[in-house]
């Protein structure tokens, strides 16, 4: 996983294995959500509707090909959302660790 217990520790967040696992899962889900929302935000209404319809019927490969075609800088989107979320974790490290 992209975020692990070591990374959390480097931010001063020392959690038990169970807590760390739950937090990382929450982190990943949040990140996936934000990446998806940002991708939708970058699409016009017509394309967004198209993607909604596609994700209901197509497999991941098809969805990814579609996103690549319509959001050329999708990798940068993912990277930035990850960095932003990590920044938020850093900002709230003490609360998370408490």
Residues that bind another protein (CB under 8 A): 1-4, 6-7, 10-12, 28-29, 31-42, 44, 51-52, 55, 60, 63-64, 67-68, 73-91, 93
Determine the Cα–Cα distance for residues 97 and 94; give it in Å rounded to an integer. 5
Query: Cβ atoms within 10 A of the Cβ of 83, count?
Result: 10
**Cα of 85 vs its chain's centroid, Å:** 8
In the bound complex, what is the minimum distance in angstroms from residue 43's beta carbon to another protein?
9
Cβ neighbours of residue 1 closer than 8 Å, sequence gap 6 or more: 24, 28
In the bound complex, what is the minimum distance in angstroms from residue 87's beta carbon to another protein?
2
Joined together, the tokens standing for residue 21 give 């696992």
Of 21 and 32, which has the nearer Cβ to another protein?
A: 32
Of 15 and 34, which has the nearer Cβ to another protein?
A: 34
Of 17 and 79, which has the nearer Cβ to another protein?
A: 79
In the bound complex, what is the minimum distance in angstroms from residue 91's beta carbon to another protein?
7
In the bound complex, what is the minimum distance in angstroms from residue 53's beta carbon to another protein?
10
- For 38, the enclosing helix (H) or strand (E) is helix 17-42
């Amino acid at each position: 996983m992209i975020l692990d217990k070591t990374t959390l520790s480097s931010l001063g967040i020392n959690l038990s294995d169970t807590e760390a696992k739950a937090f990382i899962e929450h982190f990943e889900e949040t990140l996936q959500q934000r990446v998806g929302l940002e991708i939708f935000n970058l699409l016009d209404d017509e394309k967004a509707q198209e993607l909604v319809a596609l994700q209901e019927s197509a497999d991941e490969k098809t969805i990814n090909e579609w996103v690549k075609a319509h959001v050329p800088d999708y990798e940068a989107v993912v990277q930035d959302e990850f960095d932003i979320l990590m920044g938020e974790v850093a900002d709230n490290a003490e609360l998370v660790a408490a």
